[in-house]
Structure formats: C-alpha cells, structure tokens
Amino acid sequence: MPPLAPPPAAGAPAAPAAPRAAEVVRRLELTLGRRVDGLLHGRHLGRMPGLGSEPAESRRYVPGDDPRRMDWNVTARTTVPHVRDAVAEREATSWLVVDLSPSTDFGTARCTKRDLVVAAAGALVVLASRAGDRVGAHVLTHEGVATFPPRAGADHARALLDAVAHAPLPDRDPAVARPGPDLDHALDRAARTAGRRGLVAVLSDFAGPGTWVPALRSLAARHEVLAVEVLDPRELDLPDVGTVVVGDVETGAVREVRTDDPVLRARYAAAARARRAATARALRGCGADHLVLRTDGDPTAALVRWLAERPRRLAHLRRAAAGGAGGRP
C-alpha cells in the first residue's frame, strides 16, 4: 500500500502533488499482487444455490450452514451430515460503504484515519477488480452520501479511487462544524441498492452512539459484510501533555482538558477499552467479519493476515450465528 504520511507542520515546505489515481492503482497492484494472489486464487463461493451457480465440493456440516445446502447422498453414504457449496457466477458484485465523516479527519501517527480509510478502500477496489468483480461504493461525507454504481475494469477502479480520494473535506474549525448524515444512512442506502447477494465492505471508525447497528444487522442478513474499523492510538491512551483544548468536529463542542491528571487518563483509557469492546461485540453480533487498522501500523500486512485467516473466522461466525439461533443440521 502506498506510504502514508502525516500532514506537514506549519512552516514546512509544501508537499509534492498527490499522485493521480492511475498511479495509486498501479502502486497498489504492485504492492498487493504477490502478497495476496495466493490467497485469492480459486472460484467465488456463492452464499446459496440459485441462478448463476453450480454445485461445488461437498464438506462436513458446520453449525450455521444453510440446511438447504444439505447433500443427502453423501450424508447417507457417510452417516455424517454434509453440505455442498455453490460456486457463484464469475463476475460477482462488491459494494464499499466508505465513511469519510468529520470524525475520520483525525490522526496523530503516520496518517489520519481518513487517509487510512482511503488506502483500505483502494486496496479492496484493486483486489476486487483483479478478480474481475464489479465494484460500487457509497461514500459518506459531511455533505451527504454519494453513490457510484458498480462496474468492472481498471478504468472504473481508477475513477472510483479518484472519487474517494477527492471527497469533500470537513471544515477543520470545530466552531463552524456542520453535522452531516450518520453511518446508518449510508448502510440503509447500501441495503436498498445492493439487490443480489454479494460482498459489502464497510470502512469506518464506527464512532457515535451505535445507531448504525440495526442497519448493519439488516445488511448482514442478506450479504457477506466485512467491517474495517480504523483507529488512532490517541483514541486508546491519553498522553500527559498538560492542558489542551479539544474540539469535536462532529458537533462543534470545545472543551479544555487537563491531561496531567492521572485519574482522568485512567478513566479515559478504561472508557476507550469499553467502547472498543462494545464495537467489536456489536459487529460480531451483526455477523460481520471484523478487521482493525491503526494509523500507526502497516495496513498491507494487516490486510494480508486478515485474508489468510478469513476462512477460519467465517466458520466461527457461522457457528456463533447457529448457537444464537439454536440452529441444528
């Protein structure tokens, strides 16, 4: 993934012009190609049999599997429940829900959370395009939700990445911050536009009170959902830097905080751990696969590890869903 750098300090020389979308796509293809090609080989697995699908290999039943996939012939021969996967048509459709709301315009490490969302979206667009899939996006900013219909091909990947990278920026002055739509608005639109079963990747910091949970649960009931959470280390641990003035870019609220108070820092860390645990629990409860990217980490390495471990996690999600619903073969 292209290197990400924090914004230049005041008085520093101007940074070189940002590379064009075509150059960014080429860099992503070169960076990701060798590291993930081995994980992406093979055919798409359909979530259920139907038009445009063919029978695939039989395997042992795992709690959470769709009982309509039962392979009764193999089950009768082996006396062990088996299901048969379905191979979907080659050109699947993937959707991205890209959260570039004002809360992502924050970062204290290698980049801002917004930069991380854009980089992760670019990586997913490139990977889907290399597989021949059609990719669309719903981009959430402080101005609203912009929808880009799904298409295939490198030209569309470049255009989509360019649109995401140049989405409107929020006003950096909290005093004039203008609240925009919440993440649940973008998820609701994704549920309305993504008709056929497919893959939906949600890239966000999942900030706020969690009003997005019902919309994400509804989306995950029909589609495979990948939740990519972006995080900055200062959201987990408050450093001792004296008295600072902090502002909420979402609401415009401004407050003076004494970071030299150890009790305050301990309460902050505890609240941050509780919020992260609640977010992970909510995503798991919705049935979404969860990836965490940090602004002080290597997003490429995290993405590769995530892809390598994904089959095991999906099986765990199926078992958890079956346990919650009391499913049985």
Per the structure block, which two tokens stand in for 195?
């008709």
Spatial separation of the C-alpha atoms in residues 246 and 291, rounded to whole Å: 28
Question: Which one is predicted more confidently, 21 or 172?
Answer: 172
**Reported confidence tier of residue 153, pLDDT bands at 50, 70, 90:** confident
Q: State pLDDT tens for residues 60-88.
A: 888 877 788 888 988 998 999 988 876 55
Whether residue 204 is predicted with pLDDT greater than 90 in this model: the reply is yes
User: Where is mean pLDDT largest: 44-58, 110-124, 245-259?
Assistant: 110-124
**Reported confidence tier of residue 12, pLDDT bands at 50, 70, 90:** very low
Question: Which one is predicted more confidently, 260 or 55?
Answer: 260
Spatial separation of the C-alpha atoms in residues 263 and 125, rounded to whole Å: 44
Sign of CA dihedral 292, 294, 298, 300: positive
> In 3-state terms, the chain is what percent helix, strand and coil (to 5)?
45, 20, 35
Report the mean per-residue pLDDT for the chain.
77
pLDDT, position 241: 83
Whether residue 54 is predicted with pLDDT greater than 50 in this model: the reply is no
**Reported confidence tier of residue 177, pLDDT bands at 50, 70, 90:** low
Name 259's bridge partners.
none
Spatial separation of the C-alpha atoms in residues 188 and 297, rounded to whole Å: 31
pLDDT, position 63: 81
Residue type, 54: E
Name 200's bridge partners.
95, 225
Lowest mean pLDDT among 99-113, 136-150, 158-172, 314-328: 314-328
Whether residue 196 is predicted with pLDDT greater than 70 in this model: the reply is yes
Using CA atoms, how far residue 134 sits from 22, 149, 155, 172, 194, in Å, is 18, 9, 12, 35, 12
**Reported confidence tier of residue 180, pLDDT bands at 50, 70, 90:** low
Per the structure block, which two tokens stand in for 292?
């965490």
pLDDT, position 15: 40
Question: Which one is predicted more confidently, 97 or 52?
Answer: 97
Contact 164, 137 (CB under 8 A): yes
pLDDT, position 222: 87
Say what percent of the chain tops pLDDT 70. 71
Spatial separation of the C-alpha atoms in residues 139 and 320, rounded to whole Å: 31
Name the residue among 286, 313, 147 with its Cα closest to residue 225. 286
